[in-house]
Structure 1
Amino acid sequence: MTDLHTTNALRLLQVADDFRAGLSGEFSAVHGISVNEFLLLLHLERSAANRLPRVELARRMHVSASTITRMAAPMEKIGLLDREVDERDARLVFVVATNAGRAKLSEALSTFSKRAGYLFGDRCEDEEMDQFASMLRRLIAGTGDTLA
């Protein structure tokens, strides 16, 4: 028998996977991007300068820098992302969303919002959603999260 903390952590991971799966098909079919690519664009938009070094983007997405490179390359090819070299240090390269990338994010954010509403709407009442939001804020407090 597992303790309640372990059980809740496993349930949270399972729910996160279920939500991601519930969003993935629609994102790909409607917008031509994956949920991870959507999150990459969202991190860029929510950053202070609307751009991030590859290593910082990797840290925020909890992946390796090489994963960011593999994700960004096809997005650059289709015009959603670009690279900017730092004016003072040419070794520092930023990942930045293009106008097309920002437009894609805006469209995808609308889909994300609608789909999240459907996924939560069937399971939670408004008061429960308020309580859940409060718990999530406590869970992410101090993590530096910039998405919500």
Structure 2
Amino acid sequence: MTQTVRWLTDEEQHAWRNFVRMQEKLGARLGRSLQSDSNLSSADFAVLVHLTDVPEGRLRYQDLSRALEWEKSRMSHHIARMVSRGMVAREECPEDGRGAFVVITDAGRAAIEAAAPRHVETVRALFLDHITPEELRTLARISERVVAHLEDGRS
């Protein structure tokens, strides 16, 4: 099977590499900031954000894993660490003996409520303060389109 590779043009390669570099640098800086300011890892914060986004503060393991794009083993190990720190609890699913829920605890809620204001300020300082409102709207449209493509199963 021979397939022609559609190599990136110089302009595409420049844009792609800078996009990846920006994500890496932002992720690393945000992660260090979260850790030093609130003793939460980026992964902890992501789990807590997803749990606080739902009214009951609970999600099935598989739904949370899918939302975070994590493999089953990473999910199990990370949630076990968060359970041991009192941030979340694991609850069995009565309708499905093999399923379980991840539930935010009062300690987890307090941790994210304490971390969020500083995290938002860091996001502003590292990213939002350096782009225009029009660039932000363009970024939102691009991100929505790419995410929709990734979520519809075509890729």
Q: TM-score range by the shorter chain?
A: 0.7 to 0.9
Please point out which of 80, 83, 89 is paired with 1:82: 89
Taking the TM superposition and a 5 Å limit, the aligned residue runs for 1:1-148 are 2-3=8-9, 4-5=11-12, 7-47=14-54, 49-141=56-148
In our comparison, the structure showing a higher alpha carbon Rg is 2
Q: What amino acid maps onto 2:23 in structure 1?
A: A
Alpha-carbon shift at residue 57 of structure 1 (Å): 1.8
TM-score by length of 2: 0.79
Does the 8 Å contact 2:79/2:88 carry over to 1? yes
SS at match of 1:141: helix
Q: CA deviation at 1:6?
A: 5.1
1:75-101: per-residue Cα shift (whole Å, max 9, x none)?
111110101111222321111111111
TM-score normalised by the chain length of structure 1: 0.82
- Distance between the aligned counterparts of 2:140 and 2:96, measured in 1? 41
| Letter matched to residue 2 of structure 1 | L
State the distance in 2 between where 1:136 and 1:17 align. Answer: 17
Cα distance in structure 1, aligned partners of 2:126 and 2:44: 20
Counterpart Cα distance in 2 of 1:69 and 1:40: 12
Going from structure 1 to structure 2, the CA distance change for 1:52 and 1:143 (only over 3 Å counts) comes to farther
Q: CA separation in 2, counterparts of 1:59 and 1:112?
A: 24
Structure 1: which amino acid aligns with 2:120? S
Cα 1:94–1:6 change in 2 (3 A) is farther
Take 1:9 and 1:127, find their aligned partners in 2: how far apart are those partners? 20
SS of 1:84 mapped into structure 2? strand
Give the direction of change, closer, same or farther, for the CA distance of 1:98–1:143 in structure 2 (3 Å limit).
Answer: farther
Separation (CA, whole Å) in 1 of partners of 2:21 and 2:45: 21
